Amino acid sequence: MSRTDDLQQRFQAFAGRPGRVAFAPGRINLIGEHTDYSGGFVLPASLALGTWTVAAARDDRKVRVLSEGQHETEVFALDIAPAAATKRWSDYVAGVAWALQQAGCKLRGADLLIASDVPMGSGLSSSAALEVSVAHALLAVAGASLSPLQIARVCQRAENEFVGARCGIMDQFAATHGESGRALMLDCADYSWKSAQLPAKHCWVVANTMVRHALAHGEYNVRRAESEELTAYMHRRIPQRTRLAELSIAETKELMSGLPATLASRLRHIVGENRRVHEAYAALDSGNVALLGQLLFASHGSLRTDYEVSCRELDILVDIAGAVPGVLGARMIGGGFGGCTLTLIEAQHVETLLAQLRLNYVQSTGREPATYICEFGGAGGMLA
Ligand code: ADP
Ligand code: MG
């Protein structure tokens, strides 16, 4: 039975009538870490993993939603506001309903069944996959439509203002604009983008440290505040520049000379990482995988030393990968202080990598890393 038929059948059991099926993918960000919130560049690719939402209209103005794996069915009024957020997973769903209506969409009540194969909190963006699939489903049930960019912005707003998480636009953008087998270089300031083919004979492997250190959340907010401080400083010193991502090497050096050491290092990461996104895009476009790999290692070094968001477990995984034959590059991904790494490797060596990661990481930390070999997919939308 196809995945869609299987979901239809389970929806019939849940809601007693057939439904429409929406899908949205998770994503992997190849490079461009901690660049989005200062209006810089990122290079995500959408995955084959994703989240399905099956939906049928109701006659009242309620949304009843079951997410497989969550046990509880949640019910909320369509006319909900952020003040009614519950701090439960269903806030992501209610937030999308709220933000769609804020964007002028006339919604109908609905029964929703959600199923996903994106691991949660692993840097593969389960939250945006959920939001975008719910947005497609609610729009379909109401007979309404929005452009992919409008959907991405609505979903980001849901996460920022309803869930209360300060994410950039990247995850939602990848879920709405992904192209199969290609990476998107996105300018987070104006949403312009272009895509390049991913290398065919190489694999991208995600390895999970299985740790999340307590300082992750606080330090993320500190980095955001530092980047705002740096932007304000840049405006004062070089008024013609509108964002950190545009600074030349000479301008960066000049700015760094007037900054305390920590802020100077933060600036070096942001400017360098944006430059690496451009270089990585060019490397993809010209098929230069060796350069792509070097850029991943350089990104990790910068995140570890200048941005100071890595941790022992992430460094161990990157070091293990670096010693495996056929590995071109590796880096930490996501906010840092735990979470996952990403390794680029020649396809024929991937089994060796998985074995080495497991063996050596267990030896160093006593933990077994979860691993995932990326399979790429396209944008979200309606399947049935
Ligand atoms: P990431 O997006 O990197 O996976 P986040 O912390 O941004 O991590 O989002 C994870 C949260 O999103 C989960 O804790 C949960 O609340 C919600 N979520 C994501 N997918 C689902 C799902 N299929 N069902 C219920 N909640 C989900
Ligand atoms: Mg997320």
Q: What is the pLDDT of residues 58-68, one digit of tens each?
A: 999 999 999 99
Ligand with smallest separation from the Cα of 120: 1
pLDDT digits (tens, 9 = 90+) for 204-262: 999 999 999 998 889 999 999 999 999 999 999 999 999 999 999 999 999 999 999 99
Asked if residue 162 lies in contact with residue 85, where contact means CB atoms within 8 angstroms, the answer is yes
Token reading at 177: 């604009």
- Asked whether the predicted pLDDT for residue 55 surpasses 90, the reply is yes
- Range scoring the smallest mean pLDDT among 3-7, 63-67, 306-310: 3-7
Nearest CA owner, ligand 1 atom 26: 89
- Asked whether the predicted pLDDT for residue 199 surpasses 90, the reply is yes
156 lines ligand 1 (CB under 6 A): no
132 lines ligand 1 (CB under 6 A): no
pLDDT digits (tens, 9 = 90+) for 69-117: 898 899 999 999 999 999 999 999 999 999 999 999 999 999 999 999 9
89 lines ligand 1 (CB under 6 A): yes
The whole-angstrom separation of Cα 205 and Cα 321 is 10
| Other beta carbons less than 10 A from residue 318's beta carbon | 25
User: What's the mean pLDDT in 6-20?
Assistant: 97
Give me the active site residues, please.
Answer: 171
Cα Dmax for the chain: 67
Instruction: Write down the pLDDT at residue 292.
Output: 98
90 lines ligand 1 (CB under 6 A): no
70 lines ligand 1 (CB under 6 A): yes
66 lines ligand 1 (CB under 6 A): no
Instruction: Write down the pLDDT at residue 328.
Output: 98
- Asked whether the predicted pLDDT for residue 1 surpasses 90, the reply is no
67 lines ligand 1 (CB under 6 A): yes
Instruction: Write down the pLDDT at residue 167.
Output: 87
Query: Among 132, 128, 112, which residue's Cα sits nearest to residue 65?
Result: 112
Nearest CA owner, ligand 1 atom 16: 89
The whole-angstrom separation of Cα 97 and Cα 164 is 15
Span from the CA of 22 to the centroid of ligand 1 (angstroms) = 17
49 lines ligand 1 (CB under 6 A): no
Span from the CA of 307 to the centroid of ligand 1 (angstroms) = 26
The whole-angstrom separation of Cα 332 and Cα 322 is 13
User: What's the mean pLDDT in 307-332?
Assistant: 98
- DSSP lists the bridge partners of residue 52 as 23, 115
Q: Report residue 113: phi and psi, to 5°.
A: -120, 125
**In which band, very low, low, confident or very high, does the pLDDT at 166 lie, cut at 50, 70 and 90?**
confident
pLDDT digits (tens, 9 = 90+) for 334-360: 999 999 999 999 999 999 999 999 999
With a CB cutoff of 8 Å and minimum separation 6, the contacts of 243 are 38, 39, 40, 189, 231
Ligand with smallest separation from the Cα of 65: 1
Q: Where are the beta strands (DSSP E) in the chain?
A: 20-29, 41-42, 44-57, 62-67, 73-77, 110-116, 182-187, 193-197, 202-212, 327-333, 338-346, 370-373, 381-382
Span from the CA of 261 to the centroid of ligand 2 (angstroms) = 31
- DSSP lists the bridge partners of residue 27 as 46
- Asked whether the predicted pLDDT for residue 137 surpasses 90, the reply is yes
Task: Please state whether beta strands 338-346 and 202-212 pair in parallel, antiparallel, or not at all (unpaired).
Answer: antiparallel
Span from the CA of 122 to the centroid of ligand 1 (angstroms) = 9
Cα 99 to Cα 50, 84, 103, 105, 275, distances in angstroms? 21, 14, 6, 9, 34
Ordered structural domains, the chain, with CATH? 3-196+378-382 (3.30.230.10), 202-222+266-373 (3.30.70.890)
Q: What is the DSSP string of 110-148?
A: EEEEEEE-SPTTSSS-HHHHHHHHHHHHHHHHHT----H
The whole-angstrom separation of Cα 182 and Cα 287 is 12
Instruction: Write down the pLDDT at residue 122.
Output: 86
Span from the CA of 30 to the centroid of ligand 1 (angstroms) = 20
Which ligand 1 atom sits nearest the alpha carbon of residue 159? 7
Q: What's the residue count for the chain?
A: 384
Instruction: Write down the pLDDT at residue 71.
Output: 83
116 lines ligand 1 (CB under 6 A): yes
Span from the CA of 44 to the centroid of ligand 2 (angstroms) = 13
Ligand with smallest separation from the Cα of 163: 1
User: What's the mean pLDDT in 360-378?
Assistant: 98
Distance of alpha carbon 232 from its chain centroid, rounded? 27
Instruction: Write down the pLDDT at residue 263.
Output: 98
Instruction: Write down the pLDDT at residue 266.
Output: 98
Name the one residue in this structure whose structure tokens are 């309803």: 162
Q: What is the DSSP string of 319-378?
A: HHHHTSTTEEEEEEESSSSEEEEEEEEEGGGHHHHHHHHHHHHHHHHS-PPEEEE--B--
Ligand 1 pocket test, candidate residues 120, 160, 220, 332, most atoms within 8 A of CB: 120
- Asked whether the predicted pLDDT for residue 118 surpasses 90, the reply is yes
Instruction: Write down the pLDDT at residue 334.
Output: 94
The whole-angstrom separation of Cα 87 and Cα 329 is 38
Q: What is the dihedral of CA 346, 350, 353, 355, to 10 degrees?
A: -160
Span from the CA of 192 to the centroid of ligand 1 (angstroms) = 27
Ligand with smallest separation from the Cα of 118: 1
Which ligand 1 atom sits nearest the alpha carbon of residue 123? 3
Helix axes 261-285, 289-305, angle to 10 degrees: 170
Compute the half-sphere exposure of residue 361: CA atoms within 13 Å on the CB side of its CA. 28
Identify the sign of the CA torsion 81, 84, 85, 89.
Answer: negative
